[in-house]
Amino acid sequence: MYKITKKEVLAPNIYLMVIEARRIAKSALPGQFLIVKMDEKGERIPLTICDYDKKEGTVTIVFQTVGYSTQRMAKYEAGEYFSDVVGPLGKPSGFVNDDIEELKKKKIIFVAGGVGAAPVYPQLKWLHEHGISADAIVGCKSKNYLLLEEKMKAVAGKLYIATDDGTYGYKGFVTDLLKDLIDKEKKEYNLVIAIGPMIMMKFVSKLTKEYGIKTIVSLNPIMVDGTGMCGGCRVTVGGEVKFACVDGPEFDGHLVNFEEAMRRQTLYKTEEGRKLLRAEEGDTHHGKCGLGGDE
């Protein structure tokens, strides 16, 4: 059993929870995710690790209510327990294995859309703790949907806010703001890390490809059960079949076939669509089990 030690409403239908999971906290790294199972018969819900405290033995998750399971999860309160929390899963952010001195030479900017701010935060925090400054753009529909602003300010070199309706910060999409930073403010970034809705990551990657800027995207949005067995997060990257939960979740944004991935997201919602995908993809439809665990 895994105790919820804190619950907070961050924005409409968006919640933060801190969970006691000592072994996950001890080994977690930026970019990884975990799977929450509320009770014995509950659905497995993959969620990116937003933060972790090795000393306290806790991990933090942020989730948006989009269906029955997440709506049910939102009803849990501090002091209650989840049946299972498994992790850390997935490969950590690529830069955690890079030479620190070489990292310091890079000009990095993160681009987060909506709840994508949650997985961006631990990456910024890790870089900050290692003496590396990175900028960040956080985009959302309006000011009341902005997440983790103060936490991000504390660890980002420069934090830029973009709202679709102009209620806070820059009025427009994150791609518009990134383009302005490059063209008008003459920012010379050589690495972009984009995390958010698939459509956002697609257009960020399209833009950065024009500028020749290396771009990493996190394909957490397409994960279904997080084990690699359901076939839900199958994606083509550079012409090769990958599974986001076991091969990622981070990939080269310029190599991801976003059109295919987004089509699969739509089809996977229905039984008829899943049957069509199984028929089209044959033996490549399913991945492999990549479970770790917290005991």
What structural domains and CATH numbers belong to the chain? Answer: 2-83 (2.40.30.10), 100-218 (3.40.50.80), 220-281 (no CATH)
Q: How confident is the model at residue 249 (pLDDT cuts 50, 70, 90)?
A: confident
Note the pLDDT of residue 292.
Answer: 36
If pLDDT is split at 50, 70 and 90, which confidence band does 294 have? very low
Average pLDDT of the chain, as a whole number:
88
Give the lowest-confidence range in 38-42, 224-228, 248-252: 224-228
Task: Supply the pLDDT for residue 285.
Answer: 52
Q: What is the pLDDT of residue 276?
A: 56
Write the pLDDT tens digit of every residue in 80-126: 999 999 989 888 998 999 999 999 999 999 999 999 999 999 999 99
In this prediction, residue 208 carries a pLDDT of: 97
Between helix 198-211 and helix 174-183 the angle, nearest 10°, is 20
User: In angstroms, rounded to a whole number, what is the distance separating the alpha carbons of residues 293 and 268?
Assistant: 27
Question: How many CA atoms are closer than 13 Å to the CA of 52, on its beta-carbon side?
Answer: 24
User: Mean pLDDT, to the nearest integer, of 226-248?
Assistant: 78
**pLDDT tier for residue 295 given thresholds of 50, 70 and 90:** very low
Which of 1-15, 24-38, 135-149, 269-283 bottoms out in mean pLDDT, i.e. has the lowest? 269-283
pLDDT on residue 66: 84
The Cα 277–Cα 263 span in angstroms is: 10
Could you give the CA distance from residue 95 to residue 235 in angstroms, rounded to a whole number? 22
Q: Please report, for residues 4, 59, 100, 169, 291, the alpha-carbon distance to residue 1 in angstroms, rounded to integers and kept in the order given.
A: 10, 14, 38, 42, 18
| β 44-53/33-37 pair status | antiparallel
Over residues 249-275, the mean pLDDT reads 75
- Phi–psi pair at 290, nearest 5 degrees: -125, 30
Cα within 13 Å of Cα(108), Cβ side: 20
pLDDT at 193 over 80: yes
What average pLDDT does the segment 220-227 reach? 67
Return d(Cα 216, Cα 93) in angstroms, integer: 9
Give CA–CA dist 47/58, Å, rounded.
Answer: 15
| Residue 291 tokens, joined | 């479970």
pLDDT the model gives residue 246? 81
Residue 209's pLDDT is what? 97
What are the tens digits of pLDDT across the range 163-185?
999 999 999 999 999 999 999 99
Residue type at position 170: Y
Q: Which residues does 71 contact at the CB level (< 8 Å), separation at least 6?
A: 65
Q: Is pLDDT of 291 > 50? A: no
> Average pLDDT, stretch 4-27?
96
* Mean pLDDT value of segment 73-83: 96
Name which residue leads in pLDDT, 44 or 160. 160
- Counting residues of the chain whose pLDDT is more than 70, the rounded percentage is 86
Mean pLDDT of 263-273: 59
DSSP character string of 183-216: HTS----SEEEEES-HHHHHHHHHHHHHHT-EEE
Task: For 172, list phi and psi in degrees, rounded to 5.
Answer: 145, -175
